[in-house]
């Protein structure tokens, strides 16, 4: 079995768009004579399911402010948050009905590695989860397609509950107090369960220990490494451009969507009622209780066919003297209302 080299030009890839492109390429296009394993870490990113509405699932303003990526994966399911406290693993091999079909091929080495770190009560539970005292710290998924078996999962060394709450959409935040408490009651980070001498372990050291257990070696030098060729990387660039780094894929894959947003300013309340299709505004009405003399139909018309993307909306508002149409407000503040 190969271990995939996660570096390009000597630098580890932590861009979620590229990591999903690599997974897609390995699973669907790469021809190998042996199975291959990956361990990787994403910079902060929200990953949404293939059929989800990005505008309804996450607070896009918060993502932009905190420079959190949003990537739509190729498979279904719900949205998840990854950061640099999350270790992600993926296995791709031939569907030969071997032991790789059994989750224990992956979970047992993980449990052994955790035992070396002082975690004695980790166990496999449910259909595909790893638990400590009944709380989940890892979920695993499996797909068999095209003669290949693909297994993937995450391991939570650390959990940022505050950001988990913030990436929710505002309407979900109204229920978040109970929701996040519920998450904390069902999910646990690994770090609090490690032995005292391992409390300062880094995510990279944790990954190295797991690799040694999974491959049954004492030194990483004894693991067979798979390196992408220049042609492989060129294909990865194409997949990122066409899909995982493409705004139309990540945001525009929705049908019709109608929503309302409003915000109170010093001069009064501004309300936007927006109808969008495929991520672009096809109808817009602006309401409010302010006294500015401008005809809001001018801005409503200018917003038509504008993508629901910060830079595009800012470009529209930049065409107008906003104090004439609203009052003392900036284009950034109005965009924040629309995308909230």
The CATH number of whichever domain residue 154 belongs to comes to 3.30.930.10
Task: Please indicate, yes or no, whether residues 273 and 232 belong to a single structural domain of this protein.
Answer: no
| Domain stops at, among 235, 250, 265 | 250
pTM (whole model) above 0.85: no
Task: Please indicate, yes or no, whether residues 170 and 286 belong to a single structural domain of this protein.
Answer: no
3-state secondary structure 309-323: CHHHHHHHHCCCCHH
Task: Please indicate, yes or no, whether residues 199 and 322 belong to a single structural domain of this protein.
Answer: no
What is the reported pLDDT for 174?
A: 44
Task: Please indicate, yes or no, whether residues 42 and 66 belong to a single structural domain of this protein.
Answer: yes
Task: Please indicate, yes or no, whether residues 37 and 172 belong to a single structural domain of this protein.
Answer: yes
- Residue 2: which region, alpha, beta or left (left: phi > 0; alpha: psi -120 to 50)? beta
What is the reported pLDDT for 319?
A: 96
What is the reported pLDDT for 102?
A: 63
What is the reported pLDDT for 77?
A: 66
Report the C-alpha gap between 269 and 288 in whole angstroms.
5
How far, CA to CA in Å, does 72 sit from each of 65, 80, 130, 195, 249?
19, 11, 25, 37, 7
Report the C-alpha gap between 281 and 295 in whole angstroms.
19
Task: Please indicate, yes or no, whether residues 102 and 132 belong to a single structural domain of this protein.
Answer: yes
Do residues 137 and 183 touch, judged by C-beta distance below 8 A?
no
| Domain stops at, among 250, 276, 298 | 250
What is the reported pLDDT for 14?
A: 98
What is the reported pLDDT for 178?
A: 47
Task: Please indicate, yes or no, whether residues 333 and 300 belong to a single structural domain of this protein.
Answer: yes
10-residue block means of pLDDT along the chain (340 residues)?
96 97 93 93 91 77 91 80 93 72 71 86 79 84 76 88 76 49 71 91 92 88 95 98 94 74 88 88 86 88 95 96 92 92
Task: Please indicate, yes or no, whether residues 13 and 66 belong to a single structural domain of this protein.
Answer: yes
Report the C-alpha gap between 63 and 61 in whole angstroms.
5
Give the strand pairing for 69-72 and 45-48.
parallel
What CATH number corresponds to the domain at position 320?
3.30.390.50
Task: Please indicate, yes or no, whether residues 10 and 154 belong to a single structural domain of this protein.
Answer: yes
Task: Please indicate, yes or no, whether residues 224 and 131 belong to a single structural domain of this protein.
Answer: yes
Q: How many domains is the chain partitioned into structurally?
A: 2
- Tokens for 134? 């009944």
Q: Which domain holds residue 199?
A: 2-250
| Domain stops at, among 250, 277, 305 | 250
Phi, then psi, of 136 in degrees rounded to 5: -80, 135
CA-derived radius of gyration, the chain: 23
């Amino acid at each position: 079995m190969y271990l995939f080299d996660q570096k390009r030009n000597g630098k580890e890839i932590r861009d979620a768009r590229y990591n999903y492109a690599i997974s897609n390429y390995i699973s669907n296009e790469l021809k190998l004579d042996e199975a291959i394993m990956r361990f990787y870490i994403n910079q902060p990113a929200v990953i949404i399911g293939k059929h989800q509405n990005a505008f309804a699932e996450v607070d896009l303003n918060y993502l932009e402010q905190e420079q959190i990526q949003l990537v739509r994966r190729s498979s279904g399911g719900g949205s998840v948050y990854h950061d640099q406290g999350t270790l992600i693993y993926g296995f791709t091999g031939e569907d030969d009905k071997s032991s790789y079909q059994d989750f224990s091929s992956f979970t047992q080495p993980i449990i052994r590695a955790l035992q070396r770190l002082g975690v004695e009560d980790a166990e496999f539970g449910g259909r595909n989860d790893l638990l400590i005292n009944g709380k989940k710290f890892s979920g695993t998924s499996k797909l068999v397609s095209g003669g290949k078996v693909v297994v993937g999962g995450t391991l939570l060394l650390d959990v940022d509950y505050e950001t988990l709450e913030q990436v929710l959409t505002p309407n979900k935040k109204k229920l978040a107090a109970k929701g996040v408490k519920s998450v904390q009651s069902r999910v646990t980070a690994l770090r609090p369960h490690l032995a005292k001498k391992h409390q300062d372990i880094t995510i990279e050291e944790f990954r190295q220990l797991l690799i040694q257990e999974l491959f049954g070696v004492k030194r990483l030098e004894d693991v067979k490494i798979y390196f992408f060729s220049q042609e492989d990387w060129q294909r990865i660039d194409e997949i990122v451009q066409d899909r995982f780094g493409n705004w139309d894929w990540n945001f525009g894959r929705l049908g019709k969507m109608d929503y309302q947003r409003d915000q109170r300013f010093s001069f009064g309340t501004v309300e936007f009622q927006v109808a969008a299709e495929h991520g672009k505004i096809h109808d817009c009405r602006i309401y409010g209780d302010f006294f500015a003399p401008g005809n809001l139909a001018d801005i409503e018309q200018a917003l038509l066919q504008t993508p629901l993307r910060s830079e595009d909306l800012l470009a529209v508002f930049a065409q107008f003297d906003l104090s004439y149409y609203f009052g003392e407000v900036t284009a950034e503040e109005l965009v924040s209302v629309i995308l909230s």
